[in-house]
A and B are shown apart, each in its own frame.
Chain A
Amino acid sequence: MSRFRPRGVWGFILRRLLLGIVVLILVSILVFLATQALPGDPALAILGRSATPQSLAALRRQLHLDQPVFTQYWTWVTGLLRGNLGRSLEAQEPISTLLSPKLVNSAVLVALAAILSIPLSIAIGAWAALKREKVFDQASSNLLLLLAALPEFVVALVLVILFATTVSHVLPAISTIPPGSRPWNNWVALVLPTLTLVIAVVPYVSRIMRASMIEVLESDYVEMARLKGLPERTVLIRHALPNALGPVFQVIALNLAYLAGGIIVIEFVFNYSGIGGAIREAVVNHDLPVIQALAMLIAAVYVILNLLADVATILVTPKLRTRL
């Protein structure tokens, strides 16, 4: 068997890609089963009391419910692959038109949060590890523990009270993006939501970074490097940091994936039009095609982020790289 295993980093990426595709296929089957193929009539569930025989028949045709289950699944999956996500039942628009501005909005917010929170938490974690049990370490640990314990909406509301309503009015309280406009057209509005997300992510990542860094600093090879007389700078940056980052990438990936689907609360508090609100609306309105599209999208984000984290871990950890 092992003869056919593609080797090296590229082989690893290839294997993980294939695995990711398998995961997505399984997810697509699950999503399909959970939404469309459940016992009962989805068309009746969607139309409820306003159902008439004509509207039921029309909706069944639109959802392909009049076809065998496998054909329905095939039509849907091949549509997804061709980039045809279907039409929203509520908005009566192609789902891609409906969701693409919201996707951009959510992506901008997550990207901003990532760009700010990753270096920040790595720096805080590493510094705390170096100054272990000293003032910075103790202060940052306690503060981060406190922030980690607060739900995002509490953080968001406290920030709004501080910067937008009761205490001062330096920033807008909401981040509504007017139709046709893009998030970066009004960057001031992005400050509070981004800050909230940064505060949501930094505690977890920096604590992992601190723990990982402490472990690395106590390892034999760091001691060896020091004994060799290498400058402390080189010891830390060349030898300690890369090895400490491995586990941190996994946590970053999980956090970002969580943000991708989990910023619904932030969207509510700041009236920010993103995919979190789209999920909620689709569920409330029984908008089946939109629910399916969003479930697949979020699954894909998870798979891709995990893949990236694994690759990054491999690249920074020589020990793992050589075992491929």
Chain B
Amino acid sequence: MTDVSRRQLLVGGAGLAAVGGLAAACGSSSSSPSTGAATGASGAPKRGGNFRLGVTGGGSKDIMDGQNIITKPDQARLVSAFETLLLFDENYQLTENGLAQSVTQDSPTQYTIRLRQGIEFQNGKTLTADDVIYSFQRIGTKAYGLTGYAATATMDIAAMKKLDQYTVRLPLKTPDSTVPQTLGSYTFNMVPTGYKAYPAPQVGTGAYKLKSFTPGQQSVHERNPNYWRTGQPYFDTVTITDFSDATAQSNALLGGQIDAMTDVAPSQVKVLQAQNVGVLVSKTGGWIPICMAIDIPPFDDARVRQAMRLIVDRKGLLEQVFSGYGFIGNDLYAPFDPGYNHSLPQREQDIAQAKSLLKAAGKANLAVDLHTTNGASGMVETATVFANQASAAGVKINVINDPNFYGTQYLKLAFSVDFWGTRAYLNQVQQGSLPTSPYNETHWPPKSGTGSNFESLYNQALAETNPATRVQIMHEMQSAEYEVGGYIIPCFGGLIDGYSTKVKGLKPSKGTLNLDSFGHGYRTIWFG
């Protein structure tokens, strides 16, 4: 059972909510060639039909708010009606295919947003600069507790200025080169002036209008005939149903009561494929790290951290935890970021080296507790498999599955297994690797030695407007994390979703959301 909601409360401030990778499994095209191919090879899109989607992880606390989510069904509903200024494509690269024609950085502390002209909200009102300013103000109001709030820290929202009907100037308080990534994150949506969350009327620019919504049960969305992208969307209606159980979900898909489902268990993939159900395997950047707090013994000794990283059999863990659906990691996050440092050698298992490092550190027969919880699928399994692997090096790891993991002791533990979604590198650093980060499990960066200049490098990267130079700074930051950091990132899981073969147009995506960002908000998929 995935619990987006619990974690989402914890990662609530994230610009890119850390809710991806929950199914925590992801496709390797080599191991399953029949999965992962686009489903839309068959002819031109056709209009019509009611697309029925089954989603787990919801409940009576489901909400409908254009700029906020609590549960996974909230994600599925959000994208039907609301859109962002910039758009991540299926390779997690930022594009100017959203509501903004362009977002340009005029100086380290100023951006200009130019809206596409003639986009109308679902009530016929034209999207203008005023709506953009209202949308930023709403996200930037701390009391609302919206998902994107933390990412607005650098923005001087009060000083935003309407230059003309379609142009907005966004000044920053401090330099921040990650603003475009923030503007592309799926909860940073544009809403009309005066917008309020459900039960107020839900008016966005998206492809479907909300017709009815009962939290924990079902919502119905009607085609927006005025949608700004010509031809799209194709379905007449979209019906999103909450499921409490994955078995019911896959039975419904097999029985034809739904057309697509989120989060197929890796073990179910072959079962579904055998019965002519499509399986969409998306390699996302979601990760389940083993976190070592670098200032708490025994992990305050870099040799112990190094030893732990050498203990992991990454391929074995990927196979055992994710049934091979994924790709191995190198203790670095944000693998799709253009600034990801591919030049660092892949770390391999080396038990002998690990043993000698531990001996040198005086921790030859190390015994340590590893805390985790049934938060995202794969967390407990990762901890257990790692504990097994560690015994080969004489390290005794006691896995503690604590239902109250996210309670008061969270972020104060020496050794824990947590989870994160897909993010760009600097956005992830802001969330989890700085003294000011809301969720810094490893207590990175160190006060002295390698990595002690991490925060100043981060600020340099934020202020750097030349992408090439910025990538160099990011490489330097990653080198430090690779050398002495506190994360063990054995592999990247992903998303496995199921769909009826009559659904066309789905493509594997590297983004955070299931089912190719729910068929890009149910507008790039159709019934063949």
Q: Is the CB of B254 within 8 A of A166?
A: yes
Q: Is the CB of A269 within 8 A of B59?
A: no
Q: Is the CB of B216 within 8 A of A281?
A: yes
Residues of B within 8 A of A90 (CB): 59-61
Residues of A within 8 A of B60 (CB): 88, 90-91, 93, 98, 281
Main secondary structure of the interface of B (DSSP, over half): loop
- Report the bound CA distance from A178 to B216 in whole Å: 11
- Report the bound CA distance from A309 to B448 in whole Å: 76
**Contact indicator per residue, chain A 173-184, by CB within 8 Å of chain B (1) or not (0):** 110101110000
Give the nearest-CB partner of B219 in chain A. Answer: A179
Q: Is the CB of A49 within 8 A of B255?
A: no
Residues of B within 8 A of A169 (CB): 255-256
**Contact indicator per residue, chain A 261-275, by CB within 8 Å of chain B (1) or not (0):** 000000111110100
Query: Restricting to A38-94, which residues have a CB under 8 Å from any CB of B?
Result: 48-50, 88, 90-91, 93
Residues of B within 8 A of A267 (CB): 244
Give the nearest-CB partner of A189 in chain B. Answer: B257
Give the nearest-CB partner of B5 in chain A. Answer: A285
Residue pairs across A and B with CB atoms within 8 Å: the count is: 94
- Report the minimum CB–CB distance from A72 to chain B (whole Å): 24
Q: Does B367 contact A (CB under 8 A)?
A: no
- Report the bound CA distance from A257 to B183 in whole Å: 54
- Report the minimum CB–CB distance from B243 to chain A (whole Å): 5
Q: Is the CB of B252 within 8 A of A179?
A: no
Query: Restricting to A276-290, which residues have a CB under 8 Å from any CB of B?
Result: 277, 280-281, 284-285
The range of chain A's interface size is 20 to 34
Query: Restricting to A84-121, which residues have a CB under 8 Å from any CB of B?
Result: 88, 90-91, 93, 98
- Report the bound CA distance from A174 to B242 in whole Å: 12
Residues of B within 8 A of A157 (CB): 247, 251
- Report the minimum CB–CB distance from A59 to chain B (whole Å): 15
- Report the bound CA distance from A93 to B61 in whole Å: 10
Q: Is the CB of A285 within 8 A of B408?
A: no
Knowing A49-B410, A281-B59, A285-B61, say if A174 contacts B244 (CB, 8 Å): no
Q: Is the CB of B245 within 8 A of A269?
A: yes
| B59, B216, B248, B406: the one within 8 Å of A48 (CB) | B406
- Report the bound CA distance from A280 to B3 in whole Å: 13
Q: Is the CB of B217 within 8 A of A174?
A: no
- Report the minimum CB–CB distance from A193 to chain B (whole Å): 11
Q: Does B10 contact A (CB under 8 A)?
A: yes
Q: Is the CB of A173 within 8 A of B241?
A: no
Q: Is the CB of B244 within 8 A of A280?
A: yes
- Report the bound CA distance from A257 to B418 in whole Å: 41
Knowing A48-B407, A165-B255, say if A176 contacts B218 (CB, 8 Å): yes
- Report the minimum CB–CB distance from B17 to chain A (whole Å): 15
The range of chain B's interface size is 20 to 34
Q: Kindly name the residue among A88, A157, A169, A284 whose own CB sees the greatest number of chain B CB atoms within 10 A.
A: A284
| A174, A179, A281: the one within 8 Å of B257 (CB) | A174
Q: Does A164 contact B (CB under 8 A)?
A: yes
Q: Does B9 contact A (CB under 8 A)?
A: yes
Q: Is the CB of A269 within 8 A of B406?
A: no
Residues of A within 8 A of B218 (CB): 176, 178-179
**Contact indicator per residue, chain B 248-271, by CB within 8 Å of chain A (1) or not (0):** 110110111110000000000000
- Report the bound CA distance from A284 to B216 in whole Å: 14
Residues of A within 8 A of B410 (CB): 49
- Report the bound CA distance from A271 to B252 in whole Å: 9
Q: Does A217 contact B (CB under 8 A)?
A: no
- Report the minimum CB–CB distance from B220 to chain A (whole Å): 8
Residues of B within 8 A of A48 (CB): 404, 406-407
Q: Is the CB of A268 within 8 A of B255?
A: no
Residues of B within 8 A of A285 (CB): 59, 61
Give the nearest-CB partner of B213 in chain A. Answer: A179
Q: Does A291 contact B (CB under 8 A)?
A: no
- Report the bound CA distance from A165 to B216 in whole Å: 25
Q: Is the CB of B217 within 8 A of A273?
A: yes
- Report the minimum CB–CB distance from B427 to chain A (whole Å): 22
Q: Does B230 contact A (CB under 8 A)?
A: no
Q: Does B30 contact A (CB under 8 A)?
A: no
**Contact indicator per residue, chain B 49-68, by CB within 8 Å of chain A (1) or not (0):** 00000100001110000000
- Report the bound CA distance from A277 to B41 in whole Å: 41
Residues of A within 8 A of B10 (CB): 49-50
Give the nearest-CB partner of B245 in chain A. Answer: A268
Residues of B within 8 A of A166 (CB): 254, 275
| B241, B255, B408: the one within 8 Å of A164 (CB) | B255
Residues of A within 8 A of B407 (CB): 48-49
Q: Is the CB of B61 within 8 A of A174?
A: no
- Report the minimum CB–CB distance from B245 to chain A (whole Å): 4
Q: Does A247 contact B (CB under 8 A)?
A: no
- Report the minimum CB–CB distance from B188 to chain A (whole Å): 22
Q: Is the CB of A270 within 8 A of B257?
A: no
- Report the bound CA distance from A35 to B100 in whole Å: 52
Residues of B within 8 A of A126 (CB): none
- Report the minimum CB–CB distance from A180 to chain B (whole Å): 8
Knowing A49-B406, A164-B251, A269-B247, say if A173 contacts B257 (CB, 8 Å): yes
Q: Kindly name the residue among B54, B59, B215, B408 whose own CB sees the greatest number of chain A CB atoms within 10 A.
A: B59
Q: Is the CB of B61 within 8 A of A91?
A: yes
| B3, B215, B247, B257: the one within 8 Å of A176 (CB) | B257
- Report the bound CA distance from A173 to B254 in whole Å: 8
Residues of B within 8 A of A91 (CB): 60-61, 215-216
Q: Does B214 contact A (CB under 8 A)?
A: yes
Residues of A within 8 A of B9 (CB): 49-50
Q: Does B346 contact A (CB under 8 A)?
A: no
- Report the bound CA distance from A270 to B248 in whole Å: 6
Q: Does B212 contact A (CB under 8 A)?
A: yes
- Report the bound CA distance from A135 to B518 in whole Å: 57
Residues of B within 8 A of A98 (CB): 60
- Report the bound CA distance from A268 to B59 in whole Å: 13
- Report the minimum CB–CB distance from B18 to chain A (whole Å): 15
Residues of A within 8 A of B249 (CB): 271
Q: Kindly name the residue among A49, A50, A268 whose own CB sees the greatest number of chain B CB atoms within 10 A.
A: A49
Residues of B within 8 A of A269 (CB): 245, 247-248, 251
Nearest first, the 5 A-B pairs at minimum CB distance are A173-B255, A179-B214, A91-B60, A165-B254, A173-B251
Beyond A48-B404, A173-B254, list 17 extra A-B contacts (CB 8 Å): A50-B9, A90-B61, A157-B247, A160-B255, A169-B255, A172-B255, A173-B255, A173-B257, A174-B248, A176-B257, A179-B212, A179-B214, A179-B218, A267-B244, A271-B241, A280-B244, A285-B59
A contact residues vs B (CB 8 Å cutoff): 48-50, 88, 90-91, 93, 98, 157, 160, 164-166, 169, 172-174, 176, 178-180, 267-271, 273, 277, 280-281, 284-285
Instruction: Write 10 A-B pairs (CB below 8 A) sorted by A numbering.
Output: A50-B10, A165-B255, A173-B248, A178-B217, A179-B212, A179-B218, A271-B244, A273-B217, A281-B216, A284-B59
